[in-house]
Amino acid sequence: MGQFDDKVAFITGAARGQGRTHAVRLAREGAAIIAVDICGPVSEYNSYEPATADDLAETVRLVESQGGKILAEQADVRDSAQLKAVVDRGVEQFGRLDIVIANAGICNWNRFWEMPDEQWETLIDVNLTGAWKTLKAAVPALIEGGRGGSIIVISSVAGIKPLPGQANYAASKFGLVGLTQTAAKELGEYDIRVNSIHPYGVKTPMGTDPGSLVILEKHPHYLSSFGTILTEHPLADTDDITDAVLWLAGDGSRRVTGSQVAVDMGNTKV
């Protein structure tokens, strides 16, 4: 018996990294998974490799290896129609929706006055507007189910403490805090909880982005903003973030909503 037996989770950005780990761990605990990922390039300003269709296929394989059921499709979180169609197919296939994890996001680097408009606009559209469209596509099914639910928005330390060299990213992640807290207030009457998780660096292609080294080499005085308290663990494992996801998705956090959960090795406190 798993703690999420008979429940269904919708996860964006599920082809690899944090999203894949969330999917596999939830499946291990009995949840069926509705997974999406764009599986391709998003911004020319990203300096790490994009996820691929093969990555999403590997997520499917790993979920099924846990005995889990999964519907996985390529979709862009910037496209409301695509998201709604996937959610509708998933609810039709699995019969319900209980958990939503707005995980998809990108990161790139530049000083704010040197950013081309497209660099700013694409990141905001993916990270912030994409999360709003994710919630917009999923919430009607949560409400219709009448069982409550849990929405988990993956923000960042940059949504609590802005970091230099990524004004676009910080703006998007601060925006997610506002979206999370407004959604929590609007959905409370339906017993749907909404919380955000704020990781620091995570061992993923985005979390180990070489673009960060480039800007820190150019502007070494920025380094003072990137310290941590738990210095022996400068980067989290994806499982560390999933531990927080499973807690917020489960009954152990049934009285928690509108909260910011920092999994950041103490970065927001230095």
118, amino acid identity:
E
- Judge whether 138 and 97 are in contact, CB under 8 Å: yes
Residue 264 C-beta-side C-alpha neighbours within 13 Å? 25
Residue 226's CB: how many other CB atoms inside 10 A?
17
Secondary structure letter of residue 28 according to DSSP:
H
Catalytic site residue 169? yes
- Judge whether 101 and 10 are in contact, CB under 8 Å: yes
- Judge whether 42 and 206 are in contact, CB under 8 Å: no
DSSP letters spanning 50-67: PP-HHHHHHHHHHHHHTT
| H-state helical runs in 35-129 | 53-65, 80-94, 117-124
Catalytic residue (one of 169, 190, 200, 222): 169
DSSP letters spanning 146-189: TS-EEEEEE--GGGTS--TTBHHHHHHHHHHHHHHHHHHHHHGG
Secondary structure letter of residue 2 according to DSSP:
-
Catalytic residue numbers? 169
